[in-house]
Amino acid sequence: MTRMTLHFAARPLAVLAATLALGACAGRTPAPAAVPAPEPEPQPVAIDPLRPPVRADHKYVVVDVEHNELRFMDGERVLWRAPVGTGTGFRLSTPGQRWQFTTPTGTRYVQFKQLDPPWFRPDWWYHENKLPVPAQDSPARKEEGGLGAAGVFLGDEIAIHGTDKPELLGRRVSHGCIRLSNANALRLFHDVQVGTPVVIVGQAEVLGEQPDSVARFTRHTPSRGRGPVLYRNPMDRLATPALLTRLDRLLAATAPDDSSWTLAASALLERGLTTDAPALRGLLDRAGKAEPEARRREFADFLADAFSRGALRTVVSLNRITPEGRQRAVEEIVDATMSLYHGPLDHPLAPWPTRRVPVTRLGPEGQAGWKALQEAEAAYRARYAGGAPARTAGSR
């Protein structure tokens, strides 16, 4: 089982002591101790805000390719986990080309995310299906809905996305991407932001040439003449008032520990970002009310997603809920947004919510929401700026 551990920078004197101890154990006579030189002043280390070290006290994603599991982390606590499909490890070779279907380990960062993302079939798909390979810009490559309900893209042609074969999850069945059930792909879409770290850990065996039987078993099944098959949230059938009532029941402390609330929240969020203002106000007004704490913390990520994708609409909606609800909502939005960001708080690219909506663009209707966000940001800075050094997340 993969466990998260914390790594700290070693102190020079500790390294010196360890070296001397090893020398003594080796049977050599240590030289007389020299007067230690004064320690140099620590120099500031430049941090790339787009690829910062992963902080173990923030939120991030872990994908374990050895156990085929995804975990959404809040510090050292697992907010939720789910089985995934990862790379088979097989190789496909053709004259002049070769593909290794492994899921690469290491730390990556969310580059972008998309609902109902299309899939552009790569060359290997045509070789697997024994079909002629079309030109790179051929419209025949595009398949709507080919990556399930949602995709979180990590760069280098690696993504975490939904699947039309949930029965294969928990196994090595992909060509390198990380497959989730559609419901969990949608959940992850709302939980992360651009820049959220994804730590891929574990050791998976690299295999030889791919048998054709494996290709038939693992590959995506395209729709044949039926048009795109897009995922539909089962909660979409409910009217907004009924959906808000359902969400209240699912967010309560006595609700079962499942992900049903995420589907209700997702349906309300998508409506609220288009034409259904009561849906968005209903979500914002429920900030800070979910129980237990893990559910409350994740619900805040959904609010941060609403703000990141519809900042102006959300600011106006903040002005139309009660002052108590507005205060809870801005605190949750700021905390969730910044807990998904692992870089320096004072960097120009730090994703402070007020930076998404310049106050000059707001009329009187949006001023109360913007000022409440500004005050919540100031309180966050006061709590965390200049605090203890960041702890980094690793694995063993």
Read off the pLDDT of residues 324-342 as tens digits, 9 standing for 90 and up: 999 999 999 999 999 999 9
CA distances from 15 to 22, 275, 280, 289, 293 (A): 11, 61, 55, 49, 41
pLDDT of residue 209: 76
pLDDT of residue 27: 35
pLDDT of residue 192: 98
Among 116-120, 163-167, 253-257, which is the least confidently predicted range? 253-257
Among 91-105, 157-171, 294-308, 381-395, which is the least confidently predicted range? 381-395
Residue 238 or 1, more confident: 238
Please give the model's pTM, rounded to 2 decimal places.
Answer: 0.83
For the stretch 102-160, pLDDT in tens is 999 999 999 999 999 999 999 988 888 889 999 999 999 999 989 999 999 999 989 99
Distance CA 73, CA 56 (A): 9
Q: 92 phi and psi, to 5 degrees?
A: -120, 125
pLDDT of residue 5: 40
pLDDT of residue 325: 96
What's the whole-number mean pLDDT along residues 372-379?
97
- The answer to whether residue 202 scores a pLDDT higher than 90 is yes
- The residue with tokens 């320690």 is 39
pLDDT of residue 22: 33
pLDDT of residue 18: 36
Neighbour-count burial for 301-323, b at 16+ CB within 10 Å, e otherwise? bbbbbbbbbbbebbbbbbbbbee
pLDDT of residue 99: 87
- Can you count the helices (H) and strands (E) in the chain? 11, 17
Share of the chain above pLDDT 90, in %: 64
Candidates 304, 293, 294, 298; CA nearest to 373 is 304
Are 297 and 343 spatial neighbours (Cβ–Cβ below 8 Å)?
no
pLDDT category at 15 given cuts 50, 70, 90 is very low
pLDDT of residue 21: 33
Dihedral over Cα of 159, 162, 164, 166: its sign: positive
All structural domains of the chain: 59-218 (2.40.440.10), 234-387 (no CATH)
Q: Which residues pair with 143 in a beta bridge?
A: 119
Are 201 and 65 spatial neighbours (Cβ–Cβ below 8 Å)?
yes
pLDDT of residue 386: 56
